[in-house]
Structure 1
């Protein structure tokens, strides 16, 4: 297998530019723009969601600027590889949807205490900064983590990330939290236009249109909203010309109940990054086994953790490698890591100007909801896909059923935890935390050989002919 991969690596017959090639200025710019288009919505949407749900208002343009800027810095670190930090491949780093549910829960904890928007952001970024060290630590022995974070656990957690977010998307489709005209026909129409546009564009024969489907859908929704009089850009003149990164601008606070769900998600993020980097290596015709591969995985996961720490320091949410950019590499045939420098430059330049964030903040909630419904539904489906690669025997089905049931249960009936100590209730109020803790504990506690023991027990009591059939069946399997 390794020999085949090595031979294939040497050919690079389907790549215009392989990993260490240096394309010219124009090809690099064109390839970089394609990557930015494929990932832009993913970079900015978590900030828009958090800002809207938690009522962060005036801070949103600055937060969007920081998300873009930090994404650029993280991309540069991953592609350039500074010492042991970075995969040294064409990987785009951006804000992760995986942390969105836990971050919203953390914000709600602070908000329920009467905290100000500044308190909410100080807690989110403080907790994210501390939790990032979990992934930094795990990067040193990432290959051993697979014994604990199995596909059953990972798939369950990803499902529980996606399902609660669908509720957020549907609320936006109706008009947003607390909207006076919630569920109005014009809200549903706006969301429907975006939703249908993304579906139709996604079915296009042109691969570039498919990659930019969500961006085009959002732009179309904004244009329709403009003609409906739903956009107001009068406040843009009050925004500063340039956003200046300020470490911990909103302060630094820590909360244990908010920390635990994020710590668990950083473990899952490490495994997801491993999968993304392996796919990237395959598409880039690089080894997927051996010391070179392992060094890239360790460096990539380490960069993930460090980039999330940098993100928290400069007022942005945790980041991770974006899997959709693997599709861009396959489409363009450009796997050169030097293109990442151009991607980083574009994102940083976009982040410098808060007017971009101000324009995006004016996006009506139904427009955003029409796009995020598909995106969050895709997250849940990704979890189902992970589970489909696991052996769903009685033991694993039990783990998934209990964990998903508990996770969705505490999300839909939060009052079930009201008699627990406040800190414990806050931890378990996160569906991701509850489901993850359940899945991990059950995976450790429940014996893995129940199936084998049942067959053995049946063989001992079965007649001779039946024993032969069972043995034959086992060999065929």
Structure 2
């Protein structure tokens, strides 16, 4: 519900309106709180997969602090690209950018167990993928026909399904603890469960800022519990610098076929997600459709923000859907408000001590938070799929894409004879599912849409449409 003390209804729907600062600053910080945990979590996951994210005693641990720092800094920079813009770049709308979960399924196999040396390959893929993503802005409007809710819903669902295993591993004690006596202990699950319970309680029984920041507050409560249990080490906070600028080519650049192809394909997916978010912002905040110029500018900013991140050791950026919902909830369409939030993120990114504090969160506490976040990604995908007409054609597309995509991710050894590059891409889960769904959607004739569904659903679909037609045998 919009606050009339901020402005008139016409002003609140205007992206160029600047509310009084006493109102605008808290609203901007609210946007940061809504996306903060989701923004820094991918850096922790990727560093952990590479093997230098666990424990302040690791010689590579400062690299994780740096990546967390850059996640905040370049989320702020990319957000400014969207809100302020320059030339054709930027939608000039209140779009919040942040580190994308969508790329994690391809990043993990690229860096798994390879240490900080693997980050150069990652950054090369991010740079090329970001430039490719930006180029999509020239014709993004003309390719939306190939991406109906069946395809986009499946892709989002696969992103969440590809990540849920990581959430459970973190809650149980982390990847390095697998096979140890501590892994899956009651103590570990107590910390994770506390985060989940507090998050759910605030999300459903609180209002306003408490509800918006439910995951963040849940993590804080879990952190306090972990501290009381002696599971928190603040040794890295004291040694971290109070101020540091981004370091160009911090991890270097190296280009591999697997990384480039993977990031370009997922850049396409991210571009489609951004188009949906831009449309959601204009509909929810201003009651209108997004213009072609806004969609094009948002895609340019999305891609260039990602490419710039790769040059400084950060991860790919995309628009954040939770902030789209926040705009609809507050009714405040002002891009100045989001610009204030972006400045706050940039300032946080210049203080490594903040990154050090974030990195001191025990993996079990983080696990509780990501279980909720990854589950919400799956739920968002299922929500998108609810718009699909479940006829035989669409069921076949969904069944084959999901079975092969998820199956190959669960059993990568099934493709052990493929070349290394192809195996990484084919077992990522999301990429094969997306490619298969897009291809089948373009190839299979629409005539199948008018046929009955019982053949492929075992009689579970299509019930209630006729009381006289006999069941198939």
TM-score normalized by the length of structure 2: 0.88
Contact 1:98 1:161 in 2 (8 A): yes
Partner in structure 2 of residue 54 of structure 1? 50
> Which whole-Å CA distance do the structure 2 matches of 1:263 and 1:150 have between them?
20
Q: Which runs of 5+ in 1 are unaligned?
A: 1-10, 456-469, 471-477
Partner in structure 2 of residue 25 of structure 1? 21
Partner in structure 1 of residue 187 of structure 2? 186
Give 1:314 shift: 1.5
Q: Which runs of 5+ in 2 are unaligned?
A: 1-6, 54-60, 453-465, 467-473
> Which whole-Å CA distance do the structure 2 matches of 1:432 and 1:260 have between them?
13
Give 1:365 shift: 1.0
Matched, 1:97 2:101: yes
Partner in structure 2 of residue 202 of structure 1? 203
Contact 1:417 1:425 in 2 (8 A): yes
Contact 1:166 1:373 in 2 (8 A): yes
> Which whole-Å CA distance do the structure 1 matches of 2:435 and 2:373 have between them?
25
> Which whole-Å CA distance do the structure 2 matches of 1:52 and 1:122 have between them?
16
> Which whole-Å CA distance do the structure 2 matches of 1:176 and 1:124 have between them?
22
> Which whole-Å CA distance do the structure 2 matches of 1:320 and 1:235 have between them?
30
> Which whole-Å CA distance do the structure 1 matches of 2:374 and 2:343 have between them?
29
Residues 382-428 of structure 1: CA deviation (Å, up to 9, x unaligned): 11122221222111111111111111111111110012233322221
Partner in structure 2 of residue 346 of structure 1? 344
Residues 10-66 of structure 1: CA deviation (Å, up to 9, x unaligned): x97386473211223222211111111111111111111112222133111111111
Partner in structure 2 of residue 376 of structure 1? 374
1:44 to 35, 40, 44: 40
Contact 1:62 1:243 in 2 (8 A): no
Give the 5 Å matches for 1:45-444. 45-57=41-53, 58=61, 59-108=63-112, 111=113, 115-117=114-116, 119-179=117-177, 180=180, 181-285=182-286, 287-288=288-289, 293-444=291-442
2:444 to 443, 446, 450: 446
> Which whole-Å CA distance do the structure 2 matches of 1:322 and 1:424 have between them?
30
Contact 1:12 1:18 in 2 (8 A): no
Residues 205-239 of structure 1: CA deviation (Å, up to 9, x unaligned): 41321101001000000001111111111222222
Partner in structure 2 of residue 460 of structure 1? none
Contact 1:85 1:303 in 2 (8 A): yes
> Which whole-Å CA distance do the structure 1 matches of 2:234 and 2:143 have between them?
49
- C-alpha spacing 1:91/1:20, structure 2 compared with 1 (3 Å): same
Query: Number of matched residues?
Result: 436
> Which deviates more, 256-265 or 243-252?
256-265
> Which whole-Å CA distance do the structure 1 matches of 2:363 and 2:115 have between them?
23
Q: Over aligned residues, Cα RMSD in angstroms?
A: 1.9
Q: Which is greater in Rg?
A: 1
> Which whole-Å CA distance do the structure 2 matches of 1:138 and 1:102 have between them?
20
Contact 2:76 2:342 in 1 (8 A): yes
> Which whole-Å CA distance do the structure 2 matches of 1:442 and 1:353 have between them?
48
> Which deviates more, 274-283 or 241-250?
241-250
> Which whole-Å CA distance do the structure 2 matches of 1:152 and 1:325 have between them?
24
More helix by share: 1
